[in-house]
Each structure stands twice: as structure tokens, then as C-alpha cells.
Amino acid sequence: MSISINNILKNNHTVKVNGSLWLEAAEGHFFGPGPVELLERIAETGSIRMAAKEMNMSYKKAWALVNALNAQTASPVVIPQTGGKKGGGSTLTAEALEMIAYHRILRQRFADFLDQETQRLKK
């Protein structure tokens, strides 16, 4: 038996199970959806500033995220270069790419879980 939550809600409002996932270390949160997307875009654009701009995030916040991330990893996962050919830029280490790939898979499994629970709601 399952509860018909949908019947409890107002007319034609269907309910969905949704959520958020992140990795957590001793100091708390450290790798949620925001940082992941940022890393992905840094990989694409080669620049923290452009990555931030693309996702409508302030450079300040982006820089803080990158900094926090680098502070919690054994070695920095984002390698910044100030000055140089195009003024500078940032590249990702292999570890960062690994983390991105892992997170992609994790997200998929989570999405499946959410779908499953949402389906269950309708019975």
C-alpha cells in the first residue's frame, strides 16, 4: 500500500520527489552541484572568470569555491596561472576530471532514485 499524497494536495498539483546531493568531508560540505558545474566549465573555457560568467556566478564566488576546493584536496585540483599569453587562465588536474566524471555517474544514479520515488508516489 502506498499513500496518495497527490490526493492530499490541491487540484491537479502533482508531486515530485526532488533533492540535492553532495560530498562531505570532515569540515562539512565540499563538493555539491555548484562546484561541479563550475569545474566542468573551467575545463571547457580554461578560465575561472569565463566559467563563472557562463553560469551567472560572480567571479568572487567562483574564486572562493575554487579556493575552498583546492584547500581541501591533497594537491590543488585547479591550477591557476596569472599573467601570460592571454592574461592567464586555469586548468584542471587529472584528479579534478576524475571527480567530475564520478559526480556525473553519481548524479545519474540519484536521478534514477528520485524518479523511482516519484513513480512510487503515484500508486
Partner DNA sequence: TATCGTTATATCTTCAAGGATATAACGATA
Partner DNA sequence: TATCGTTATATCCTTGAAGATATAACGATA
**Footprint of DNA (CB under 7 A):** 47-50, 57-61, 63, 66, 80-90
**Of 15 and 55, which CB lies nearer to a second copy in the complex structure?**
15
Partnered with residue 89 across adjacent β-strands are 81
- Write out the binding residues for a second copy, residues 20-49 only, by CB under 8 A: 20-27
Q: How far is the CB of 85 from a second copy (least distance, A)?
A: 29
| HSE value, Cβ hemisphere, 13 Å, CA-based, for 121 | 17
What are the cell numbers at 42? 573551467
**CB under 8 Å to 93, separation ≥6 — which residues?**
75, 76, 77, 78, 79
**Of 17 and 50, which CB lies nearer to a second copy in the complex structure?**
17
**Of 59 and 102, which CB lies nearer to DNA in the complex structure?**
59
